[in-house]
Amino acid sequence: QQQVKQSPQSLIVQKGGISIINCAYENTAFDYFPWYQQFPGKGPALLIAIRPDVSEKKEGRFTISFNKSAKQFSLHIMDSQPGDSATYFCAAASSGGYQKVTFGTGTKLQVIP
């Protein structure tokens, strides 16, 4: 019930392309879905987050799409750049994020020139 499944495990995208990472969850109590970006040797940094009352949230080149009925959400990175190369983690939490965060397994993104 606490799992968050993430795919793909790794992703190679050409510069300027769209990177898409998908996640699915099981626990219907989850109501806060953040995405984190992590560079090697660094802690994760919050990229963007969504709550289930909206189906999409966009911040710059980053968009979260959320499908409550399917219990799925995805991250789209538009116009991907080499500087976006990092590991991305989706996550989920309940009580608006006040409860502990459950992380997905991570996606290593490589954007090639």
Partner 1 sequence: GAVVSQHPSWVICKSGTSVKIECRSLDFQATTMFWYRQFPKQSLMLMATSNEGSKATYEQGVEKDKFLINHASLTLSTLTVTSAHPEDSSFYICSARDVRKSGEQFFGPGTRLTVL
Q: Considering the complex, state which of residue 74 and residue 102 has its C-beta at the smaller distance from partner 1.
A: 102
- Could you tell me the smallest distance in angstroms from the CB atom of residue 9 to partner 1? 9
- Could you tell me the smallest distance in angstroms from the CB atom of residue 16 to partner 1? 27
By DSSP bridging, strand 62-67 and strand 10-14 are unpaired
Quick check: helix, strand or coil at residue 105?
coil
Exactly one of 32, 33, 35, 73 binds partner 1 (CB under 8 A); that residue is: 32
- CB 27, CB 94: distance < 8 Å: yes
Q: Is residue 3 a contact residue for partner 1 (CB under 8 A)?
A: no
CA atoms within 13 A on the CB side of 35: 28
Q: Considering the complex, state which of residue 17 and residue 97 has its C-beta at the smaller distance from partner 1.
A: 97
